[in-house]
């Protein structure tokens, strides 16, 4: 019985880390050209404290824990690029947005840890 619980737990953790279907996973240097496009919504899902300690100028802070409620501010017909510290929370954010009907989602792989410039 313990092995079954352990296997379920491991599968749960793995499923949370897997990429979301139909979500682009791009490195920071691959999305820099998108910063100039006013039709793209740029979202940083880190905490307000993390955001204040350093962020990419054009990204708007919508913390992951409040994304479900605040996603109403976003337009479903426009691309959403999501960043966090390492890429894990932004992938969870993409999963949340996907469930809410957003289609054009991009996760910044490696997040702020990989951002240069």
Segments forming the whole domain that contains residue 18:
2-114
The CATH number covering residue 37 comes to 3.40.250.10
Angle at which helices 88-99 and 2-17 pack, to 10 degrees? 90
pLDDT at 96 over 90: yes
Confidence band for 11, pLDDT divided at 50, 70 and 90:
low
pTM over 0.95: no
Least confident range from 19-23, 71-75, 100-104: namely 19-23
Rounded average pLDDT over 83-92:
94
Tell me which long-range contacts 14-17 makes (C-beta under 8 A, separation of at least 24). Answer: 16/92, 17/88, 17/91
Q: Which is more confident, 10 or 32?
A: 32
Q: How many domains does the chain have?
A: 1
Residues in CB range of 82: below 8 A, 6 or more apart: 43, 44, 45, 90, 93, 94, 97, 105, 106, 107, 108
Q: Which of 43, 83, 84, 91 is catalytic?
A: 84
Active site residue 94: no
Give me the phi and psi of 6, to 5 degrees please: -60, -45
């Amino acid at each position: 019985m313990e092995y079954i619980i352990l296997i379920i737990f491991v599968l749960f953790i793995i499923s949370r880390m897997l990429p979301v279907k139909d979500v682009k996973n791009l490195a920071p240097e691959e999305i820099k050209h998108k910063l100039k496009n006013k039709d793209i919504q740029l979202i940083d899902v880190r905490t307000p404290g993390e955001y204040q300690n350093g962020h990419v100028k054009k990204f708007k802070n919508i913390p992951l824990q409040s994304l479900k409620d605040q996603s109403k501010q976003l337009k479903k017909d426009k691309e959403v690029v999501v960043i966090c510290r390492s890429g894990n929370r932004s992938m969870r954010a993409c999963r949340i947005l996907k469930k809410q009907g957003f289609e054009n989602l991009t996760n910044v792989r490696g997040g702020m840890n990989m951002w240069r410039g």
